[in-house]
A and B are shown apart, each in its own frame.
Chain A
């Protein structure tokens, strides 16, 4: 077995393997906060995207009605999810699509590799797919001698740099054009340094067109899968998704099991919500509705189409009526574009495939709370993510719920989350027990507040880490209860 992808003219032979940093979230966040160029990239991009979105949702009544419809469509699909998945499988099979099921990313990778092996494929082109990132598919295939080339411009740049996407819609958002110019000049043979964006895109186009032509298999994600018709919908601007799903002989689509919708007409409002929320476009350049492989008499299109349905922790989120809302997501990225934490630390600091608020509520299901203990807390709970969500996922409430699950003792029932109790702390629990007792026992409460008000000059001035960025308030000379009793003339 070869251990590395074959050298190609794509520049990837020189790229470093993808390294996922293991340092804790706070260290990565701290490092990102000190990186001036990274912060400029994110600030600029977030301001750009929030302004674009605001421009296409300029009628609050229309936004309200449409997002309510989007929420209802997604909730309706989830309310019949197992039936719809079976219907989707049936309709896809009728259309000639092979359907595979995978509980874990390992199973999904095996399925994909099995199909490639059947076709003895060594060159694969991939359209942007977050599920394939979740599977670490490129890495899995590279270890087995298959070169899997990202074809979305942003993903291609990120792959060339040996990095992972920092945003689910704009993967290379953390990079400036100067950095990309240097990257192309370094890795692509005969390419001079240029910061002209049109020239850079044309360079990428030339490299990738040859790859679309050569690749035996194309891999893509799925934005919506329609149970009624067995249709796989792909939303994009570049045309690389169409290339991957049209030109190679075999097309493999990978999707999370939550992406199914009931009816074809459900796609129309969701598509409008998706493009407007994601990039502020009223429509993307392409909406690609794939209904199967090449039919008899047709002259092009893949001869084989496969669909891989991946669970990977989604059924855990599904089992809890509150956490199920996590699966309404249509992956527009608006929550991260509007998140004050994401805008400052960027996507890589989260250390997970899905960054930002949606990543904070989905990653604990994919990886378990023990692997993501800092994520539920990495939020100011300002509410912006919930406000802009086009399908009304109550993200702040879900973050609060996950904080609770992470703090509950691991053995306490009911057990809704893998990794429950990841942040459980005996001292903290004891403190809260005391706090409850003090606040529910009138004598203890009066005694404590009396003592605090009298000892106000002798209390510590610092309460780390709380006072690192705050001034510790000093108790008043008299308690509120005392003042009220004085005012009404009553004595205790």
Chain B
């Protein structure tokens, strides 16, 4: 018999005398402690992200390209990677079109296999996010064909645009209310700060393997 058949047979035998499958769980404990108003939720996300060593910059729908450009200028004009076709890329490229004091730009417009080594030389990348989770200060990154997943992983500086109207109290509520189970992308992510490790004598160090810096542009707009 195959390994699969043997394993399943052993497990089914093990259940022979069991009382049957357990019923559904009461998930109240995952929800109850985290009831926030929208404003409190947004504030909490910002506080927790800052506590996790991320940098949060308050911005608006109209001013974020300028705010981002200023940050990049302060950071030494890193070569910046953008998803090719997202709205934020279009807005930023329009803003940068007639300026010359802006960083050099690279579009992620071909399969990684063709330029993997070059990708590892890029300094910064910009992505959007699906929203944030107030309980833990996490950003939901939802890569798409237009916004590849290495954008938020390989470059040492990761910049995220977060529309603050998208915020859930808990991961549980995000999964349930936004119906993740029926529409998951190839790779969904929660990001709650820059890469870190405490593997050497419990001493916290940032920039282990992922981005060393995480900058969040929080685009505050009234909740619809």
Please say whether chains A and B are actual partners in one complex. yes
Where the two chains meet, the residues of A that have a C-beta atom closer than 8 Å to any C-beta of B are 41, 44-45, 48-49, 59, 62, 65-66, 68-69, 72-73, 75-76, 79-82, 85-86, 89, 101-103, 107, 151-154, 157, 170-172, 175-177, 180, 197-198, 200-202, 204-205, 208-209, 212-213, 228-229, 231, 237-240, 242-243, 245-247, 249, 257, 263-269, 271-272, 279, 282-295, 297-301, 309, 311, 315-316, 318-321, 324
In the A-B complex, the 5 residue pairs with the smallest Cβ-Cβ separation, listed nearest first, are: A239-B210, A154-B199, A283-B136, A65-B29, A238-B208
- CB pair A285 B117 closer than 8 Å: no
- CB pair A229 B203 closer than 8 Å: no
Please report the C-alpha to C-alpha distance between residue A299 and residue B85 in the assembled complex, in whole angstroms: 13
Please report the C-alpha to C-alpha distance between residue A46 and residue B96 in the assembled complex, in whole angstroms: 52
Q: Which residues of B contact A171 (CB under 8 A)?
A: 199
- CB pair B153 A152 closer than 8 Å: no
Q: Which residues of B contact A68 (CB under 8 A)?
A: 29
B65 within 8 A of A: no
Knowing A101-B4, A266-B25, A291-B186, say if A319 contacts B10 (CB, 8 Å): yes
- CB pair A76 B149 closer than 8 Å: no
**CB-nearest residue of chain B to A104:** B3
- CB pair A66 B186 closer than 8 Å: no
Stretch of B56-64, B66-74, B97-105, B175-183 at the chain-chain interface: B175-183
Which residues in window 137-179 of B have CB below 8 A to A? 137-138, 145, 148-150, 153-154, 170-172, 175-176
Residue of B10, B24, B137, B192 near A318 (CB, 8 A) is B10
Given contacts A157-B199, A177-B200, A272-B171, 15 further A-B contacts (CB under 8 A): A44-B201, A101-B2, A103-B7, A151-B209, A238-B208, A243-B210, A267-B171, A283-B190, A283-B192, A285-B191, A288-B189, A289-B187, A301-B148, A316-B10, A324-B14
B211 within 8 A of A: yes
Q: Which residues of B contact A153 (CB under 8 A)?
A: 197, 199-200, 208
Please report the C-alpha to C-alpha distance between residue A76 and residue B20 in the assembled complex, in whole angstroms: 10
B37 within 8 A of A: no
Q: Which residues of A contact B205 (CB under 8 A)?
A: 197-198, 200-201
- Give the shortest distance, in Å, between A89 (CB) and chain B (any CB): 8
B223 within 8 A of A: no
Please report the C-alpha to C-alpha distance between residue A154 and residue B6 in the assembled complex, in whole angstroms: 36
Knowing A243-B209, A285-B196, say if A197 contacts B201 (CB, 8 Å): yes
Q: Which residues of B contact A213 (CB under 8 A)?
A: 116-117, 120
- Give the shortest distance, in Å, between B67 (CB) and chain A (any CB): 24
- CB pair B10 A285 closer than 8 Å: no
Please report the C-alpha to C-alpha distance between residue A153 and residue B207 in the assembled complex, in whole angstroms: 11
B76 within 8 A of A: no
Residue of A198, A264, A284, A299 near B112 (CB, 8 A) is A299
Please report the C-alpha to C-alpha distance between residue A197 and residue B191 in the assembled complex, in whole angstroms: 23
- CB pair B14 A102 closer than 8 Å: no
**CB-nearest residue of chain B to A294:** B186
- CB pair A283 B138 closer than 8 Å: yes
- Give the shortest distance, in Å, between A460 (CB) and chain B (any CB): 48
- List 19 A-B residue pairs with CB atoms under 8 Å apart, sorted by A's residue number: A44-B201, A45-B201, A76-B24, A85-B7, A170-B198, A175-B200, A198-B205, A200-B205, A237-B208, A238-B210, A240-B208, A249-B113, A272-B171, A286-B192, A289-B189, A294-B186, A298-B148, A318-B11, A320-B14
Q: Which residues of A contact B108 (CB under 8 A)?
A: 299
Q: Which residues of B contact A177 (CB under 8 A)?
A: 200-201, 203
- CB pair B200 A205 closer than 8 Å: no
- CB pair B30 A319 closer than 8 Å: no
Please report the C-alpha to C-alpha distance between residue A227 and residue B138 in the assembled complex, in whole angstroms: 24
Please report the C-alpha to C-alpha distance between residue A438 and residue B11 in the assembled complex, in whole angstroms: 44
Residue of A107, A263, A283 near B137 (CB, 8 A) is A283
- CB pair A292 B186 closer than 8 Å: yes
Q: Which residues of B contact A89 (CB under 8 A)?
A: 4
Residue of B113, B137, B149 near A246 (CB, 8 A) is B149
- CB within 8 Å: A-B pair count: 262
Residue total for B at the interface (Cβ-Cβ under 8 A): 82
- CB pair B197 A201 closer than 8 Å: yes
Q: Which residues of B contact A266 (CB under 8 A)?
A: 25
- Give the shortest distance, in Å, between B166 (CB) and chain A (any CB): 17
B75 within 8 A of A: no
Q: Which residues of A contact B195 (CB under 8 A)?
A: 237-239, 285-286
Which residues in window 1-48 of B have CB below 8 A to A? 2-4, 6-8, 10-15, 17-18, 20-30, 32-33, 48
Knowing A264-B181, A298-B186, say if A242 contacts B14 (CB, 8 Å): no
Please report the C-alpha to C-alpha distance between residue A409 and residue B17 in the assembled complex, in whole angstroms: 25
B94 within 8 A of A: no
- CB pair A65 B28 closer than 8 Å: yes
Residue of B48, B52, B150 near A285 (CB, 8 A) is B52
Knowing A201-B200, A209-B209, A238-B210, say if A82 contacts B120 (CB, 8 Å): no
Please report the C-alpha to C-alpha distance between residue A269 and residue B158 in the assembled complex, in whole angstroms: 28
- CB pair B196 A82 closer than 8 Å: no
Residue of A175, A208, A228, A319 near B209 (CB, 8 A) is A208
Q: Which residues of B contact A291 (CB under 8 A)?
A: 184-188
Q: Which residues of A contact B193 (CB under 8 A)?
A: 285
Please report the C-alpha to C-alpha distance between residue A81 and residue B176 in the assembled complex, in whole angstroms: 23
